[in-house]
Amino acid sequence: MRAGEIGIEEIKARLSIPEAWRLLNLPGQPGKSCMSPFREDRHPSFSVFAEGRRFRDHASGDSGTVIDFIQLALDVPLPEALAWAREKCGGATSPLAAQSNTARKPAGKPRGGAPKSPALRPARAGELEKLAEMRGYSLETLAAAQAGGLLCFADVWQRVAWCVCDPCGRIAEGRRLDGLPWDAYGAMPVRKCHAWGGGKSWPVNLEAAARFPKLAFVEGGPDVLAALEIVRREGAADAVGVVGMLGAANTRLDAEALPFLRGKLVRLFPHADEAGRRAAREWARVLREAGAARVDAFDLSGIVRRDGQPGKDLCDLLNIAPECLEQETKFQGGMMP
């Protein structure tokens, strides 16, 4: 251990197994009887106990502390597991916080566990244009998002990812720029995005948005950029800030985020599905308890995209069929609070 680095016992004290599980983006939920996050598990055969400080895999016999858990998840030797844990405990500089533009080796595909945090960078030639064409954003909105630290790019597994980032470095969520899902690996199935940093309980862009009296509160990284696009189109950029929760499952808000919401006029833009509606009810409750002056929600149901498929979110709204837009007057303006 180098001078100034936190020791193993302090890592164990600071970082619980459930917290490491979340930071590693492992599937399932930790508990005294739960499914293994490392393999297919038809029946619960995994346990997290001792107040989240110990685990046991009753099928494989693996057991231990959070350090052992991290080694299994990442499939790395002890020094690398300790380096990862120290970073998450604040004992090393995080590439998410630094958002360095210096050259780094592209993140390689790991043997197991979660993908390593990539080096975030600005767009290269043609990348903003490709994202704009794929998703329906304007180049003006994407350039402003990049300048504000909300949009970055990365090289992950020899693929280009576009990432919606918290400007303060808490989390980044990356999708492939070619529009395809990420490949399955280890215990992780095929998925549309990966997240790095672990700060999912903090609304993305909250500090910057809190300068405004009104907030558009959206679900998912792509909808953060879509909301910025709609705010710009409606001429509301001087009054409305955009914040986003990265997924409907993230209904718990960090306690330190709540003071930023006090006195705000908040409009929720949940996805038009059951998960979105359920999340909106919980977000509304938390926001009201935090002291928001008003909380309401915009109904995104009824979208039909240009390709004829039904839509459910703000990104779909950017690609709404002209005839649907003509019929659904609620989408014709005045959507922002």
Confidence (pLDDT) at 95 = 35
Q: Is residue 307 part of a domain?
A: yes
Binned at pLDDT 50, 70 and 90, residue 5 comes out as low
Read off the pLDDT band of 107 (50, 70, 90): very low
Q: Residue 148 sits in which domain range?
A: 96-196
Q: Is residue 336 part of a domain?
A: no
Provide the pLDDT for residue 92.
37
**pLDDT grade, residue 91 (50/70/90)?**
low
Do the domain assignments include residue 1?
A: no
Better pLDDT: 62 or 107: 62
Q: Tell me how far apart the alpha carbons of residues 9 and 12 are, in angstroms, rounded to a whole number.
A: 5
118 and 228 together in one domain: no
Residue 187: the pLDDT is: 66
Q: What is the CATH number of the domain that holds 227?
A: 3.40.1360.10
Task: Round to whole Å and give the CA distance between 143 and 122.
Answer: 10
- Please indicate, yes or no, whether residues 267 and 302 belong to a single structural domain of this protein: yes
3 within a domain of the structure (yes/no):
no
Do 139 and 217 lie in one domain? The reply is no
Last residue of a domain, one of 62, 92, 122: 92
pLDDT tens-digit readout, 288-337: 999 999 999 999 999 999 999 999 999 999 999 999 999 999 999 999 99
Host H or E run for residue 82? helix 78-88
Q: Are 323 and 329 in contact (CB under 8 A)?
A: no
% of the chain exceeding 90 in pLDDT:
58
Same domain, 130 and 185: yes
58 compared with 235, residue with greater pLDDT: 235
Q: Would you say residue 274 lies in a domain? A: yes
The number of domains in the chain is 3
**CATH code of the domain containing 82:** 3.90.580.10
Of 168, 196, 224, the last residue of a domain is 196
Q: For residue 205, what pLDDT is reported? A: 93
Q: Is residue 78 part of a domain?
A: yes
